[in-house]
Every structure is written in C-alpha cells, then in structure tokens.
Amino acid sequence: MGVVGTWRIVEMDLWDTDAMDLVEPAIVAFGGDGDGDGALQFVAVQGQLDWRRSGQGQDDRVEFTWEGDDEGDRVSGRGWAQVDEDGSLRGHIYFHLGDDSGSRAVRESSAAV
C-alpha cells in the first residue's frame, strides 16, 4: 500500500484536534504516481511538499521537505511518513529552527469527519 493520496491527520503530539483543525481540516497529501509534489495543512500552517520514496521499491515510506505559510510568516521544514501495518500513516513533521511533532493520519476516504 503506497502513500499517494490525501490523508486526514487525526493525531499530533503537539496539538489537539480542535487546534489541528483551526483553519481547515488537517491533512497531508502526496500527489502523483511516484515521487512528486504534495501539500499539508494543520493549525494555521499551509504548505507545499516535495517528497521522495525513502528507498528503492518502498512505496510505503517517504521523506519530504516543505515550505509554506503560518499566519503570514514563511515557514519550512522536513519530515517523513510511513504506512503502518494497520493502514494508518505515521510520521514526523519538523519546522526549520522550530517545533516538531509526530502525527498519525488515515486515508481521507476512511476518515470520520
């Protein structure tokens, strides 16, 4: 099972659900059929991803860099994500020179909204 698609972030180490969904529902999305672009949004952060598979033949683990906006301030960082055995996406998002948080997400089609 690969990471391509949109995932609803349902847990983050640093923020509760109300904070995560402050502006829009918290998501991370990996576009295309392989390495490529994507997006993330949570709290007041909106960003664009540049992601790559972590290893040859590994469709279930990716690493990415990201840049975007947090309440009008430019922000950037890096992260990783991996599909777990239960089908959820676990990962970690790092802000350049700032916070970092672990996360868990479910495929958008299976997310309870």
pLDDT in tens, 41-70: 999 999 999 999 887 656 689 999 999 999
Specify the pLDDT at position 32: 77
Burial class of 93 by CB neighbour count within 10 A (0 to 12, 13 to 18, 19+) = buried
pLDDT in tens, 15-28: 999 999 999 999 99
The predicted model scores a pTM of 0.89
> Is residue 12 a contact partner of residue 35, using CB atoms and an 8 Å limit?
no
Specify the pLDDT at position 33: 64
- If one counts the domains in the chain, the total is 1
pLDDT in tens, 32-47: 766 689 999 999 999 9
Looking up residue 68, the CATH number of its domain turns out to be 2.40.128
Q: Which domain holds residue 62?
A: 5-110
> Is residue 48 a contact partner of residue 36, using CB atoms and an 8 Å limit?
no
The mean pLDDT value for 6-17 works out to: 97
Q: What is the mean pLDDT of the chain?
A: 90
Tokens of 37: 């672009």
